[in-house]
Structure 1
Amino acid sequence: MEIVGRGFLARNLRVLEERHPDATVFAAGVSSTANTSLEDYAREAGLLYDVIRRCQADRRRLVYLSTASASMYGDGPSEEDGPVFPGSPFGRHKLALEAVLAASGVEFLVLRLAHAVGAHQRPHQLLPSFIRQIREGSLTVHRGAGRDLIDAADVVTIVDGLLRRGIGREVFNVASGFPVAAEDIVALLEDRLGATAEKTFVERPQRHDISTTKLLSALPEAAGLGFGPGYHREVVDRYLRSTGVLPHPDRTARQLTN
């Protein structure tokens, strides 16, 4: 597998480098929903165009990592085959690149990711940001804002499973399907870190439910990854183990079996 990118998801995907020799995964570009930089968007688009041309020439499958956040789906249903109305520049940018890929003629998969969590995360991402603020003693919490956490190792496992099945020209949400309130994530982190921060609450009652019906239909064995109401606690603990906060080593990605 060829992996385009050097960020945290690209680094997690390196466990698949010796597999799927005909596949390229595009794990580069803008990763923050708050980013509105036209220069950053143009840089990602230009890189994707180059990768598409190479995949056209070499007949390679191309996996594009997009977003299943509210930036893509807004307040509407988060179903891959329905219309979407992105409410931010980030979401509109990702949807535009999905359209370029779909029209390119290459064999592709678009994976719209929830909040992936794992080793090598950048400071601005959700869990590292919360942990830093808790340790500093104060943070702002969007009360009622749902966040669907998924272990990066499980993302890797799902990518592997979809490629092994030869599924192409499809868009899939990659999520647990079980959002959790931001204040509950903060409370769990405080418990694990043994620290309590002063909180400023901003009322943001937006529960964002990401549909996983299509994913589980195409890859039924993904149900064995443990998705459910308590899954986020496992994800948080695995992340804290990977960063040395908790004592036990993190697991590695599993291969799904039929």
Structure 2
Amino acid sequence: MEIVGNGFLARGLRPIAARHEDTVVVAAGVSWASGTSAADFAREAALLRRVADDCAATGRRLLFFSTSSTGMYGLAKAPAREDAPVTPCTPYGRHKLSLEEQLKASGAPYLILRLGHLVGPDQPPHQLLPVLLRQVREGVVRIHRNAARDLLAVDDAVTVIDRLLARGVCGETVNLASGHAVPVERIVDHLARRLGTAVRREYQESRAAQHVISVEKLYALVPEVAGLGFGPGYYRRVLDEFLPDDSIPAQGDPGTLRYRPTTPAQRSQQ
């Protein structure tokens, strides 16, 4: 595959880069739901347009990463399905939905994946898990009331992406998530317990609503997902794998998460 981008997810896809020669992956653009600007959105739209035009001419499939975050599905009253109408509730969500529509209208073969909250090696320090980790170490954590995240290990995401592409899935929008929203408070509890740190919580009022991401379509397309261990306790394994190494000093770069690899056998025991 051809990978456009060199960031967090693009690096995660490199182990399967030699496969799927018929696919171009756009793993670049806006990945930060907060702090983005109209210029950032415009640059991503222009990039997607250029790649889509090329794919329309060559017939290669374009893999695009959208979001299944609160920004896209936050107003959903039931498990958020790909085939249900959505009303994005943030500029980021509206931007991603607009790009989905742009791609569908381009004439390029496509696969759109609405991602859960990815966690992985050397994750950008502005994202949620590095921020929470830094705050836990400092002893004070700021939490938006009712906030929740569907955590997904990036290596599990890549495994599923590999299967979807190998099956030739095209012309579809698919939620790629665990299907289990975890309150941010529980994430903080787990980090604090693993690090042996007492934390004080400061709550910020928020209109955020917890939503559950439907993974029914994902399981139908890739039945092997059932073997990845998704479930209510999956987030604990994700956090444990990406906690900092003992070699990282507390006053060093507290925002960087390090990968602790596990084998499939070890995962099945967790």
Please say whether Structure 1 and Structure 2 have the same fold, judged by a TM-score greater than 0.5: yes
Secondary structure (helix, strand or coil) at the match of 1:79 reads: coil
Which secondary structure does the structure 2 equivalent of 1:163 belong to? helix
Corresponding position: 1:164 with 2:166: yes
Higher mean C-alpha displacement, 238-247 vs 1-10:
238-247
Q: Secondary structure at the match of 1:162?
A: helix
Q: How many residues align?
A: 254
Q: Distance in 1 between matches of 2:104 and 2:205?
A: 38
Partner of 1:109: 111
What are the residue-to-residue correspondences of 1:96-245 with 2, within 5 Å? 96-204=98-206, 206-240=209-243
> 1:47 aligned to 2:47?
yes
Q: Matched residues in 1 for 2:243 and 2:147: separation? A: 22
Q: 1:73 and 1:122, CA in 2 relative to 1: closer, same or farther beyond 3 A?
A: same
Runs of at least 5 residues in structure 1 that lack an aligned partner in the other structure: none
**Aligned-CA RMSD value:** 2.2
Residues 242 and 253 of structure 1, relative CA distance in 2, 3 Å threshold? farther
Report the alpha carbon displacement of residue 22 of structure 1 after superposing the two structures with TM: 1.1
* Structure 1 partner of 2:262: 251
Note the C-alpha offset of 1:241: 6.1
Q: Is the 8 A contact 2:242 2:259 kept in 1?
A: no
Is the 2:120–2:258 contact (alpha carbons within 8 Å) kept by the matching residues of 1?
A: no
Q: Distance in 2 between matches of 1:179 and 1:242?
A: 26
SS in structure 1 at match of 2:242: helix
- Structure 1 position 242, deviation (Å): 7.3
SS in 2 for 1:240: coil
Secondary structure in structure 1 of the residue aligned to 2:66: strand
Map 1:5-84 onto structure 2 (within 5 A).
5-76=5-76, 77=78, 78-84=80-86
**In structure 1, C-alpha distance between the alignment counterparts of 2:89 and 2:20, rounded to whole Å:** 35
Instruction: Look up the SS of the partner of 2:168 in the other structure.
Output: coil
AA aligned to 2:158 is V
Give, as a single letter, the amino acid of the residue that structure 2 aligns with 1:157: T
| Comparing 178-187 and 75-84, the one that deviates more | 75-84
- Alpha-carbon distance change, 144 to 252 in structure 1, aligned in 2, over 3 angstroms: same
What is the deviation of 1:31?
A: 0.8
Letter in 1 for 2:261: D
Distance 2:262 2:211 in 1: 28
Q: Tell me the TM-score normalized by structure 1.
A: 0.92
Q: 1:160 Cα deviation (Å)?
A: 0.4
Q: Sequence identity, in percent?
A: 50
Task: Tell me the secondary structure at the aligned position of residue 251 of structure 1.
Answer: coil
Q: Which segments of structure 1 move beyond 2 Å, counting only runs of 4 or more?
A: 202-206, 241-249, 251-254
When normalised by structure 2's length, the TM-score is: 0.88
Which letter maps to 2:27? A
Structure-2 separation of matches of 1:249 and 1:70: 28
TM-superposed deviation, 1:253: 9.2
The residue identity in structure 1 corresponding to 2:196 is G
Whether the 8 Å CA contact 1:119–1:242 is kept in 2: the answer is no
**Aligned partners of 1:89 and 1:41: how far apart in 2?**
10
